[in-house]
A and B are shown apart, each in its own frame.
Chain A
Amino acid sequence: MAAVMRATGVPGTGVTDAEIIEFSAREPECFAEIFDRYYTEIHGYVARRLGLNLADDVAAETFLIAFDRRERYDVAYAFARPWLYGIASNLVSRHHRAETRQYKALARVGVEDRLEGHADRIESRVDAESTRGLLASALAAIAPRDRDVLLLVAWAGLSGEEAARALGVPAGTARSRLHRARKKVRTELGGADPTTVGEDA
C-alpha cells in the first residue's frame, strides 16, 4: 500500500530525499525541494484530520520543524515521507480536541444521511457518505495514540514499520495499536451492516 501512495518520479532531478536533506545542511534553500515534493500530501493528510483551516498552519509548521531538524535526519532512509508524517502527526496531536470535534461533526452528517437513505431504500447499500459518518464516529472514539497509527497507515499509506518509525515507537507497539484501532473500526462498521459495507468497499 505504501508503495502505491508513494510519490513516483520526481520531476527535474533523480535525487533522493535523503541526498537533498543532507545537502541542505550546507545549502539550506535546497530544502524547498522537500517542501515541493511533500507539502500537498502532508496538507491533505492534516486537512482530513483537522480540517482545512488548521491544515494550512500545521502543514506549514511541519516543514519548518523538519527544516530545523534536518541535520538529525537519518540519511539511511532514502524517502522522507515517514519522517515528515511523523512530525505532522505530532503536531496534529496538539489539536486532539479539534480533531475529535471534526469527526463528531462528520458522524452527525453521515448518520442523518444514512437514516434518510434507509427510509427510501430498505435494502440499499451503505453509501460513501454514511460510511464516512460511521467511520468518523469510530475515529472519534479511538484512543489518540491508536488513531495516529491507524491513519498513518490508512490515509498516509505508510507501512506498519514506517508508521512505527514515524512515531518513534517500536514496531511491535505500532502493530498492537493498529490492531486495536482496526478492531474498533470493524466493530463500528460491522455493527451497522457488515455485508453491504464489505461489498461497497
Chain B
Amino acid sequence: MMDELKILRDAWGDADAPSQDSYVQARAALLAKAGGAGQAPRPGRRGFRLPNIGVRLVVVGAMAVAVAAGVTAVQTSGGTGGDGRPRSVLPGIPAGPVANAAEALDRAAAAADSRTFTPPRPDQWIYIELRTRTTVKESGGVTGGPYRTIVRRYWERGDGKKSARIVNGQVRIFDEFGRTIPPNDYPSLAALPTDPDALLRWVYTQDGEKPGSEGQHQMAFQTLSVILRENLLPPRTEAAIFRAMKKIPDVTLVDDSADAAGRPAIALGRVAEGWLHEEVMLDPKSYAYLGERIISIKGHTLRGIGDDPHVVAGYVKKGVLQNLTVRTAAGIVGAPGQRTP
C-alpha cells in the first residue's frame, strides 16, 4: 500500500534550519513592529528599534525578549550620593583607574555589597527608566546617524504579579504573564543565587547552547546584562552578577573613558556575533551600573527584509554605535505612574 504522503515527506527529509541572520532579522522586524504597537500612532514615529534586539533576543529566549523589548533599565540607587552626584570614594574600594575588566567588576561588586538597600514591599512598585540612543530607522542594524533617543518607563509591582506602562498617556496596569527567562519579577530575582559560581551555573543552564561553546558564553553574558539593565536588584544579587561576569571568558575592558550620554563611564564586554562588541558601562568613580552599549568592531553587511530579501539593507562600518542604553532611574515608588525624585 503506497503512502504518498509519507513518501513525499521522506523524500525531502528535514529542512535546513534558517540562518542565524534570517532568524535575527525576522525577529527584529517583528519586535520593531510589536514595540510600536502599544503606542499612539504619531507621524514619523511608527515604532522603534528595540535595544539589542538583533543580537540578544535570539539567544536569550522568547519571553526574555518580551521583557527586553518592553524595557530598558538602570540602577542609580547605589552609585549616587544624596545630591545625585556619584560618590567619589567608596570604603574598601581602591582609588585610581582599573587595569582590566576583572578589576572593574571586582570593584563594582564591592560597591554593590557596601550599599544599603530596603527591598520593595509586595504592594510597592519598582520604577525603571531607560534612555536608549539608537537609529531613527525602524529596524535593522545601525549603519550610522541620525540617532534619536527613546525613553522607556515601566513599573513592576514588588510581588511580581503586576506591571504597568504608560499607554496613550494613561497608566495601564497589566497582569504579569507568568515567569520569564530571565526573570523580571522581584521575587524571582531576589531568589537568584548570590554565590557567583552558582549564579553562573544557573545562567549556563538557561539555554540550549552547546556547553562550553562561544554561543553559551555569549548567552551568559547577555543574560546577565539584561538582568542588570532591566531590574532593581538586591545588592547581593547585583554583586553576584558582576562576579559571575568576571568568570565568563573573554570579557575585556575596552574603554575607561566611554561616554554614557554625557557621563563618563568604564565599558567592558565581549565580542558578539563576530562583529559587535556588547558592553556594560560602569561609573568610573562609584562603579555603579550605568547602562550598556553595543558597537560594531568590524564591517558587516546587513541583508534586507520585507518586499525583497535580496536587497542588501546596508553596510555597517566598524565603530558605529548600535545602541546606547543608559538607565536613568531605578527605584521604589508607591504607585504606578509615580517616578523617583
Contacts and interface: CB of A to CB of B under 8 A. Distances in A.
A150 B25 CA distance: 30
B99 interface: no
A189 B63 CA distance: 46
Main secondary structure of the interface of A (DSSP, over half): helix
B57 A32 contact: yes
A53 interface: yes
A177 interface: no
B7 A32 contact: no
B8 A154 contact: yes
A39 B308 CA distance: 19
Contact of B177 (A23, A35, A131): A23
B5 A31 contact: no
B150 interface: no
Contacts of B7: 131, 135, 185, 189, 197, 200-201
A35 B18 contact: no
Contacts, number: 169
Interface in A116-140: 128, 131-132, 135
B4 interface: yes
Contacts of A200: 7
Contact of B30 (A26, A54, A63): A63
Contact of A155 (B12, B69, B180): B12
Interface string B54-90: 0001000111011101100000000000000000000
Given A47-B16, A52-B16, A135-B11, A39 B23 contact: yes
B22 A56 contact: yes
Interface in A23-56: 23-24, 26-33, 35-37, 39-41, 43-45, 47-48, 52-56
Contacts of A57: 305-309
B151 to A, nearest CB: 17
Nearest to B25: A60
A1 interface: yes
B136 interface: no
Interface residues of B, number: 56
Given A135-B7, A155-B8, A32 B31 contact: yes
B62 A33 contact: yes
A65 B245 CA distance: 39
A159 B218 CA distance: 40
A128 B10 CA distance: 8
B15 A44 contact: yes
Nearest to B176: A27
B241 interface: no
Contact of A48 (B5, B15, B181): B15
Contacts of A27: 38, 66, 70, 174, 177
B161 interface: no
Contact of B27 (A15, A39, A135): A39
B179 interface: yes
B65 to A, nearest CB: 4
B18 A55 contact: yes
Nearest to B70: A29
Interface in A139-193: 150-151, 153-155, 182, 185-186, 189-190
Contacts of B34: 24, 28-29, 31-32, 67
7 contacts: A12-B181, A15-B178, A36-B61, A64-B30, A67-B30, A150-B5, A201-B6
Interface of A: 1, 11-13, 15, 23-24, 26-33, 35-37, 39-41, 43-45, 47-48, 52-57, 59-61, 63-64, 67, 128, 131-132, 135, 150-151, 153-155, 182, 185-186, 189-190, 194, 197-198, 200-201
